[in-house]
Structure 1
Amino acid sequence: MEKMYSYKGFEVTVKLESVRAVSSEFTYGPPVGYVAVVSICTVDPRRPVGAPIGLVAEGNQVFGTEDDALTAGFNAAKRVIDERGAP
């Protein structure tokens, strides 16, 4: 899943990577959580702001739901943008 947001003249993309459990038979089970990969770009001209950031929840755990991962990714991007200032 991937979701795009606009924030203060920047484009934020949060892409979710599912983490799956592996059984003893080496088959993949259902997703046990998600890692958020956050990319930030300026809008005009479109340029990346740093490298994509991979995020996990507190305690180095995966996010339990897609919504938790998307929200955390967007909130992290907002902090980075606020610290950087306007384009």
Structure 2
Amino acid sequence: MERIDSYKGFEVTVTLESVRAVSSEFTYGPPVGYVAVVSICTADPKRPIGVPIRLVTEGNRVFGTEDEGLTAGFKAAQRVIDDKVGP
């Protein structure tokens, strides 16, 4: 799952990486959560701002739903951009 949005002249891409449980039989189970990977680029010309940020929840746990991961990733990008260019 991927979400691309614009914010204050920057392009924010949030991609989710699913985390799967491994059973004792060495088979993969269903996703147990998601890690959000956030990339920020200038809009025109398109240039990356720093390196992608990998996010998990407090307590170093994965996000329980896709929506939680996408929302947290976009909010984190907003904070980075606001720190860079101001409110």
What range describes the TM-score normalised by the shorter chain of this pair?
over 0.9
Q: Which residue of 1 aligns with 2:43?
A: 43
1:18-71 alpha-carbon deviations (Å, 9 max, x no partner): 000000111000000000000000011110000000000010000000000000
CA distance in structure 1 between the partners assigned to 2:33 and 2:52 by the alignment: 19
Structure 2 unaligned blocks of 5 or more: none
Shift of 1:85: 0.2
Structure 1 stretches (4+) deviating beyond 4 angstroms? Answer: none
Q: TM-score, normalised by structure 1?
A: 0.97
CA distance in structure 2 between the partners assigned to 1:19 and 1:6 by the alignment: 27
Q: Which residue of 2 aligns with 1:30?
A: 30
Report percent identity of matched pairs. 78
CA distance in structure 2 between the partners assigned to 1:3 and 1:74 by the alignment: 9
Q: Secondary structure at 2:69's aligned position in 1? A: helix
CA RMSD of aligned residues (A): 0.8
